[in-house]
Structure 1
Amino acid sequence: MDITTLPVISTLLDLTSRGLLALTSLLTPWTGAFAGALAIVLVTLVVRSTLIPAGIAQAKADQARMRLAPRRREIQTRHRGDRERLQRETMQLYRSENVSPFASCLPILIQAPIVGLLYSVFIHASIAGHANELLSQTLLGVPLGTSLLHAVTTGTADPATWLVIGCLVLAIAAVGEITRRAFRVEPVEGVPLGVLGALQFATAVVAVFVPLAAGVYLLTTVTWTLAQRVVLRRVYG
C-alpha cells in the first residue's frame, strides 16, 4: 500500500508541492534556473528560524550536561557492571538537575517530517491526481528529483550529476568535519568515541540516497546548525 495515497498524506504532499511551485514562480524572474533550489533554501531557513527556541533549549541542555559530566563519569565508574542501575542513576541525575537528555534530538525530530515531504514530492510523477511540475526544476542542469544512488544504479549518472550531487555531498561532509573539530563529541557509555565522531557525517551519507532537492535542504540545515551552535556557544558557553 502506498501511504502517499492516504487523504491526509496526499493533501500534505499537494500543499507542499503547490507552495514550492508558488515560491519558485516568485523567484524565477530574479534567479532564473536556480529558482527551484533557492525556494528549498528559503523554506529551510524559515523552518530553522522557527526552531530557534529549540536550538536555545539544546544549547542550555548541552551546557548542563557538560556541567554534570564529572558526576556522570562517577556514576559510570561506580555502576559499570550493572547497566540497569547505571541507566537509572544517570536518569535520576538528569531529573534532579532538571536536564533533559533528549533536548538535542528535538530539532532533528521536528525536521524529519519536512525532509520526508521534500523527499516524497520529488520522487512522484503525479501528486493528488495532477502531474508533478516540480520534477522540471533543476540545479545546474540536474533535475532536483535525481538521487545519486538511483542515477548510478540505473546507469543514468552523467558528469553533471556526479559534479553537482558529488559537490553537495562533499560540502555536507565538510560542514560535518568543521562541526566535529569545533565542538567536542561527548562520550556515551558503551559507544566508541570514533563511532560518535563518524555520526557527524551521517547527513552526507543520507544525501547520497535522497533526491537532490532533499540534499539542498540538508546542506542548508547543517550549515545553519553549525552557525547557530557557534553563536549560542558564545552566549551560553
Structure 2
Amino acid sequence: MFGFLDVPVSGAYHLIHWLTPLPAVLAIVLFTLSVRLLLHPFARAAARGERARAALMPEIKALQTKHGRDRERLAAEMTKLQQETGTSMFVGCLPMLAQLPFFMVMYRLFTTPAIGGEPNSLLGATLFGTPLGAHGLAGSPLVFVIAAGLAVVAWFSVRWQDRQRAAGAADVPGGKLLRLLPYGTVLATLVVPQAAGIYLLTTTAWSAAERAWLRRGA
C-alpha cells in the first residue's frame, strides 16, 4: 500500500545503523532534529505569514464585522484580501504538513518486519526495556513517559496560542480545532510505535522552542 516509501525507509534504516553504536533512541532524536533543521525555512515562512496577518488584522476585523453573517461572502473577501497582499491563512500549517512524509517513514521503520529483503533489526531496539516497535499501551510504562512529555509541550503550545489571540493576532480558519491539535499528539501515543512517539515528542518540543525563537521581539 505504501510501496513508494520503500526507498526512503531503506535509506533511513541504513542511516540509523550508520549512527550506531549510538542507542537507537538517540539515533531517532538525531534523525528528527535533522528533519526539523531541514524544514526550518518553512517555519520562517510561517512566522513571516503570521506577522503579515497581524498587520492585516484591522482589515480582517472590518470584513468580519461587515460580512460576518454571510460566510460565503466573507470567505470570498478574505481570499481576495490574501491575493492582494500576498499572504495566506494556511502558511502556518506548512511545517506540520512538510513533516508528514518523514513521520510516515519513521512509522514504517518500526512496523515493517523486513527492509531491503533483510530482517528489521530495529524492531529489537529497546528503551527502559520496552521495544521501540511496541504499540500504544503495549509499550507501558514508556508510553506514559512519552505521553506526559507531549502533554507538557501541548500545554505550552496552547498557552502561546492564547497569548497570541489576547494580543490581537488574526484568527485562522479552523482556529478552534488548531488549538486542540497539540493534544492530539498525546492520543497518538496510544496507537503508534514508541519510536514514532519519540519522534513526535522531539519534533513538538522543537516546534515550541523554534516558535519562541522566531517570535522573539516580534
State TM-score, norm by structure 2: 0.89
- Name the residue aligned to 2:146: 168
Q: 1:208 aligns with which of 190, 198, 212?
A: 190
| Structure 1 residues 45 and 188, CA gap change in structure 2 (3 angstroms) | closer
Residue 47 of structure 1, CA deviation: 0.9
Q: Which amino acid aligns with 2:203?
A: T
Supply the distance in 2 between the matched residues of 1:50 and 1:126 (Cα, whole angstroms).
Answer: 28
Match status 1:125 vs 2:113: yes
Moved more, 69-78 or 59-68: 69-78
Match status 1:64 vs 2:40: no
Match status 1:49 vs 2:37: yes
Supply the distance in 1 between the matched residues of 2:92 and 2:193 (Cα, whole angstroms).
Answer: 26
Moved over 6 A (4+): none
Moved more, 74-83 or 134-143: 74-83
Q: Which amino acid aligns with 2:201?
A: L
Moved more, 55-64 or 95-104: 95-104
| Structure 1 residues 98 and 172, CA gap change in structure 2 (3 angstroms) | same
Residue 69 of structure 1, CA deviation: 2.2
Supply the distance in 1 between the matched residues of 2:88 and 2:114 (Cα, whole angstroms).
Answer: 42
Residue 105 of structure 1, CA deviation: 1.3
Q: 2:158 aligns with which of 180, 185, 197?
A: 180
- Name the residue aligned to 1:22: 18
Supply the distance in 1 between the matched residues of 2:58 and 2:151 (Cα, whole angstroms).
Answer: 31
SS in 2 for 1:183: helix
Supply the distance in 2 between the matched residues of 1:120 and 1:192 (Cα, whole angstroms).
Answer: 31
Residue 127 of structure 1, CA deviation: 1.8
Please list every run of 5 or more consecutive structure 2 residues that lacks an aligned counterpart in the other structure. Answer: none
Contact 2:5–2:105 (8 Å) recurs in 1: no
| Offset from partner CA, 1:39-76 (integer Å, 9 cap, x none) | 01001111111122111111111111122223212212
Size of the aligned set, in residue pairs, is 212
Supply the distance in 2 between the matched residues of 1:221 and 1:166 (Cα, whole angstroms).
Answer: 18
Residue 182 of structure 1, CA deviation: 2.5
Match status 1:135 vs 2:135: no
| Offset from partner CA, 1:6-54 (integer Å, 9 cap, x none) | 3x4322222221221221x242xxxxxxx10000100111111112211
Taking only the aligned residue pairs, the percentage that are identical comes to: 35
RMSD: 1.8
| Structure 1 residues 45 and 105, CA gap change in structure 2 (3 angstroms) | same
- Name the residue aligned to 2:211: 229
| Structure 1 residues 53 and 15, CA gap change in structure 2 (3 angstroms) | same
- Name the residue aligned to 1:78: 66
Q: Which amino acid aligns with 1:108?
A: M
Q: Which amino acid aligns with 2:72?
A: E
- Name the residue aligned to 1:144: 132
SS in 1 for 2:69: coil
Please list every run of 5 or more consecutive structure 1 residues that lacks an aligned counterpart in the other structure. Answer: 28-34, 152-160
| Structure 1 residues 103 and 21, CA gap change in structure 2 (3 angstroms) | same
Q: Which amino acid aligns with 1:55?
A: A
Residue 192 of structure 1, CA deviation: 7.6
Contact 2:161–2:179 (8 Å) recurs in 1: no
